[in-house]
Amino acid sequence: MEFSAPDLMAHFYGLMWPMLRISGLFVAAPIFSLRALNLRIRIVLALAVTWLIYPLHSWPQIDPLSAGGLFEIGNQLMIGLLMGLMLQVVTAAIVIAGQSIANAIGLSMATMIDPNMGNVPVLSQFLLILGTLIFVGLGGHALLIQLVVESFTALPVGKSLLTDLAWRHLAAWSSMLFLGALLTGLPVMAALLFINIGLGIATRAAPALNVFSVGFPAMVLAGLGVLILALPSIGSRIQWMWLQGFLQVRSLVGLT
Q: What is the CA radius of gyration of the chain?
A: 24
Name the burial class of residue 3, with classes exposed (0-12), middle (13-18) and buried (19+) by CB atoms within 10 angstroms of its CB.
exposed
Domain ranges of the chain: 5-252
* Residue 144 near residue 29 (C-beta atoms within 8 A): yes
Number of residues in the chain: 256
Q: Tell me the whole-structure pTM to 2 decimals.
A: 0.82
Residue 54 near residue 18, CB atoms below 8 Å: yes
For residue 35, pLDDT beyond 80? no
What confidence score (pLDDT) does residue 254 get?
Answer: 75
Helix (H) or strand (E) holding 114: strand 111-114
Residue among 114, 104, 110 nearest 222 (CA):
104
Confidence of residue 242 (pLDDT cuts 50, 70, 90): very high
Q: Residue 209: pLDDT above 70?
A: no
Percent of the residues in the chain that have a pLDDT greater than 70, as a whole number: 85
Residue 11: what residue type? Answer: H
In tens, the pLDDT along 155-166 reads 887 777 777 787
